[in-house]
Structure 1
Amino acid sequence: MITIQNLTVTFKDQKALDIQRPITFNSGDRIGIIGANGAGKSTMINACLGLVPYSGSIDSSVRPEQMAVHLQANTYSELMPISKVIETILNTKIKNNEKLQELIAFFDFEASLKKKYKNLSGGQKQRLTLILVLMQDAPITFFDEVTSGLDFETRQQLMQKVRAWYQGKNATICLVSHYYDELEQLVNKILILDKGKVVDFDYTTELFAKYCGYSVIVLDRTPKHEAEINKRDEIYGPDHLIVLGCQDKDHEQEIAKHLIDKNINFKRSNSDIEIMSYNAILNNNGGKRYEN
């Protein structure tokens, strides 16, 4: 569907994006795009959409005008009822459009149609934009920080709706998010960017195995806990946590038994995208931490 290669985007004298080896987004992929602020996530989306000049190759079977995008911030007329905003943007009448009626009902948005934009909650504003974006039924859709600034419950509800809407569909979605729990429930591939370069791109399961092993065991970083772990098992993670990499099931059971015997609480995961991304980026940087 889309293959990106030797792609460079430069603002003034600074390279914002420098993707050398080919990366391909296939039909039906669910791709999470992650990296620190300034890593090039939004720049890559804008390049695919033809919104910024670039050098290199974006070979796509889908024209930019056929792609859909949900941006971080959207503004609409605050004086019109939301129903009129929707009808004006989509150039259709709600009462005459069954697909639009389905989306409005799907997002439980009926009660918001008579409101004005300024009176909508943050979650309702995002539901509005999602309705407008999904109405395009695009072969590929970019979601750029859809739930930024929303509370946990609202974020979860919206992501559950997005996941349900795309269930069984062959459309490709690319989700930029700082919320790793959203990515874990929605995507099957991860593209990791750092300072405009690709750190890695593959299926989530493959990347976890590559950078973390069989599983990880996570516990709070305290002097007591540090005294009880084997430093050789420790891999990268947030400063306030100790992360132990387990190479196989027997290794995991050995570590878990020791911690249980010491009455130490811990969490176990074989799919933690945050821990995986820490290790991918820091291994790529020789252990040097990046700044958000």
Structure 2
Amino acid sequence: MTATIAIENVGKTINRKKIIKDLSLTINEGEVLGLLGPNGAGKTTLIRMIVGLIEINEGQISVCGHDVEKEHKDALGNIGAIVENPEMYPFFSGQKNLDYFARMHTNVSKEKIAELVDFVNLTDRINDKVKDYSLGMKQRLGIAQALMNDPKVLILDEPTNGLDPAGMQELRRHIRMLAKEKNVTVIVSSHLLSEIELMCDRIAIIKEGELIAVENVKEEAKQHYHFKVSDREKAQALLQEHFDMTSQLNEDYLVVELPSELSDVSSIVKVFVDNGIALYSVEPKKHSLEDRFMDLTTENRRI
């Protein structure tokens, strides 16, 4: 894979407080990366450094091989960005807004604008005033505006804010199309983990300025099983003895995370029954992105 963005040992200090700490991350061409973390984790600071809005104190960020600080113009020429709600002139039509923004770039033809309007599916409404657009339509218009310079990277900071379910589905579809059809690298920062799970290829989780995990979203999530048994403590000891497997006790169940070679629960059931433990129920529980996020951000875990 070709790396579009390379973040190498980056650090940022603001008002004597270390906001980003020795962070390294590579993002590939045509990849949709979800940037996650609790409030105050440093996500927006990292994005602002990538787009050259604030200085990098330590390390280096390059976009398409261009150093963001030393080759500022060349690096930023490859980036399009939308932060929350796109800023448009509400009493202009969508077409007039795009025509206006096109003047800020070189060689953006009418044909190019028409192609972008078609890509974001706004052809039927492009001559309506933006004040009459839904939030989802404004987001699509913002994507068209951000793509005018044919960027290799599109950065979306909280793009789903205020969108209804139909608008989120629409935005998700266009992000996936951008990555697949135009080979654009997309970085999405959002608190809506269910949407991140649907639209992204990988996630990077930041906590207190440190990168604590990078995971493939599309890989099958770990499978948990809830065993309701007559003696949870004895069952837990048997799992350790026979399978060298740790488990957790909650109020009603024994919670077991099964590796692939034990995906068939029958071997566990047999051990329980052979040792006089009554089994009342077995319930599979998929370990979702939200579960993984909470595990990582509420414990002091690292990659």
> Is the TM-score greater than 0.5?
yes
Q: Is the 8 A contact 2:212 2:301 kept in 1?
A: no
Q: 1:216 — aligned with what?
A: 223
Secondary structure class of the residue paired with 1:83: helix
Which residue, 14, 19, 37 being the options, matches 2:17?
Answer: 14
Picking from 154, 158, 166, the partner of 1:141 is 154
Shift of residue 244, structure 1, vs aligned partner: 4.9
Relative distance call for 1:170 and 1:106 in structure 2 (3 A) is closer
CA distance change for structure 1 residues 168 and 110 in 2, over 3 Å: closer, same or farther?
closer
1:154 corresponds in structure 2 to 167
Q: Which has the higher strand share?
A: 2
Find the counterpart in structure 2 of residue 280 from structure 1. Answer: 296
2: CA distance, partners of 1:12 / 1:188: 35
Q: Give the deviation of 1:84 after TM superposition.
A: 0.8
Q: CA deviation at 1:264?
A: 7.2
Moved more, 141-150 or 22-31: 22-31
Distance in structure 1 (CA, Å) of the matches to 2:229 and 2:298: 21
Change in Cα spacing, 1:197 to 1:38, as seen in structure 2 (3 Å) is same
Give the Cα–Cα distance (whole angstroms) in 2 for the partners of residues 235 and 31 of structure 1.
Answer: 35
Quickly say closer, same or farther: Cα 1:246–1:282, change in 2 above 3 A: farther
SS in 2 for 1:149: coil
Q: Is the 8 A contact 1:48 1:58 kept in 2?
A: no
Structure 1 position 51, deviation (Å) = 0.3
Tell which structure's C-alpha radius of gyration is larger. 2
Residues 254 and 183 (structure 1), Cα distance of their counterparts in 2 relative to 1, 3 Å cut: farther
Rounded Cα–Cα distance in structure 2 between residues aligned with 1:31 and 1:58: 19
Residue number in structure 1 paired with 2:36: 34
Q: Give the corresponding residue for 2:79.
A: 67
Aligned to 1:201: 214
> What's the CA shift for 1:216?
2.6
- Aligned position for 1:289: none
Gaps of 5+ in 1: 209-213, 237-241, 287-292
Q: Note closer, same or farther for the CA distance 1:6–1:268 as it changes in structure 2 (3 Å cut).
A: closer
Identity of aligned residues (%): 23
**Structure 1: which amino acid aligns with 2:262?**
D
Are the aligned partners of 1:234 and 1:245 in contact in 2 as well (CA < 8 Å)? no
After TM superposition, the structure 1 stretch with the greater mean CA deviation from structure 2, 185-194 or 23-32, is 23-32
Name stretches of at least 5 consecutive residues in structure 2 with no aligned partner: 67-74, 237-245, 273-278
1:260-285, Cα deviation, whole Å (9 max, x unpaired): x746765436xx32222222333435
Q: Are residues 48 and 165 of structure 1, via their aligned partners in 2, closer, same or farther at CA, if it must alter by over 3 Å?
A: closer
Residues 125 and 168 of structure 1: is their aligned pair in 2 closer, same or farther, counting only changes over 3 Å? closer
User: Alpha carbon RMSD of aligned pairs, Å?
Assistant: 3.5
Structure-to-structure mapping, 1:1-292, within 5 angstroms? 1-20=4-23, 22-60=24-62, 61-62=65-66, 63-91=75-103, 97-204=110-217, 215-217=222-224, 232-234=246-248, 244-248=256-260, 250-251=262-263, 253-254=265-266, 262=280, 267-268=285-286, 272-284=288-300
Kindly tell me: are residues 57 and 76 of structure 1, through their superposed partners in 2, closer, same or farther at Cα, counting changes over 3 Å?
same
SS of 2:136 mapped into structure 1: helix
* Partner amino acid, structure 2, of 1:103: L
TM-score of the superposed pair, with normalisation by structure 1: 0.75
TM-score if structure 2 supplies the norm length? Answer: 0.73
Query: Partner of 2:60: helix, strand, or coil?
Result: strand
Partner of residue 242, structure 2:
none
Distance 1:265 1:118, change over 3 A: farther
The corresponding residue for 1:211 is none
Report the Cα offset of residue 200 of structure 1. Answer: 2.0
Distance in 2 between the 1:255 and 1:145 partners?
46
CA distance in 1, matches of 2:249, 2:161: 29
Distance 1:243 1:199, change over 3 A: farther
CA offsets, 1:202-224, max 9 Å, x none? Answer: 54467x7xxxxx723388xxxx9
Question: Deviation per CA, 1:158-177, whole angstroms, max 9, x where unpaired?
Answer: 20122123214433221112
One-letter code aligned to 1:68? G
- C-alpha distance in 2, partners of 1:153/1:264? 36
Matches of 1:174 and 1:168, distance apart in 2: 16
Give the secondary structure class of the aligned counterpart of 1:15.
Answer: strand
Q: Does the CA-based 8 Å contact 1:233-1:246 persist in structure 2? A: no
Aligned AA (2:247): D
